[in-house]
Amino acid sequence: MNFSISEITPILIIALTVLTSMKGFNDMAFFDRYKFNVGAILGSQKQWDRLLTSATLHGDYMHLLFNMMTLYFFSDVIIYTLGIWQYLAIYIVAIIGGGLLSLWVHRKEYYYSAIGASGGVVGVLFAAIALFPDMTLGIMFIIPMKGWLFGIVYLAYSVYGMHTRAGNIGHDAHLGGAAIGLIMAIIFKPTILSIHPEYILLMSLPLIVLAYLVLKKK
């Protein structure tokens, strides 16, 4: 059986993430070396590789399963609409973008750590929503709603969560990834701005609030 690069790439990403996450579950030295940590990145060690490697680690099997399922379900939308290299660009740049936003928000908190592929996964998800805003999604797979509405609710809650530090969730990484996903979808397929500009504008509003909060933070 022959597989194309478009078919096998998401599987390889998922397989790598599962294997490294499982190693991290059982090897704390490995986990501590490659997780996102502000002190290790901005301090004397300058371990900038953590912006990427932290995406291959997860806190537990449910965290890993949820992220990989979401990535699997939405990868094909991006690959077959934009292309495999565009998909890889969105995933990788969204991971880095989410990490950089977290780094900025927590730059004075050298103890702050995080793990998970959520920045990249959310980037892929929001690129898919930008391309097909009328797709039906569901909050926790239960409450169905249009993709654009899901995007607004998700972003608004994430901005609130980041501002109030609600829950043990990396809201800033999610927001950074979402912003990158939307922006790169527009860059790769600018016609979406003329096809459904109202949805892009509505989803941009929480991100404008985010930009204000980030610029306001000293």
The per-residue pLDDT for range 141-179, each reduced to its tens digit, is 567 889 999 998 888 888 888 777 766 778 889 999 999
Where residue 58 falls among pLDDT bands split at 50, 70, 90? very high
The CATH number of the structural domain formed by 5-216 is 1.20.1540.10
CA gap 162, 202 in Å, rounded: 20
Residue ranges of domains in the chain:
5-216
Query: With 0-12 CB in 10 A as exposed, 13-18 as middle and 19+ as buried, what is 22?
Result: middle
Residue 203, pLDDT above cutoff 70: yes
Closest CA to 6 of 85, 70, 71: 85
Helix (H) or strand (E) holding 143: strand 143-146
pLDDT of 69-109, one tens digit each? Answer: 999 999 999 999 999 999 999 999 999 999 999 999 888 89
CA distance 167 to 170: 9
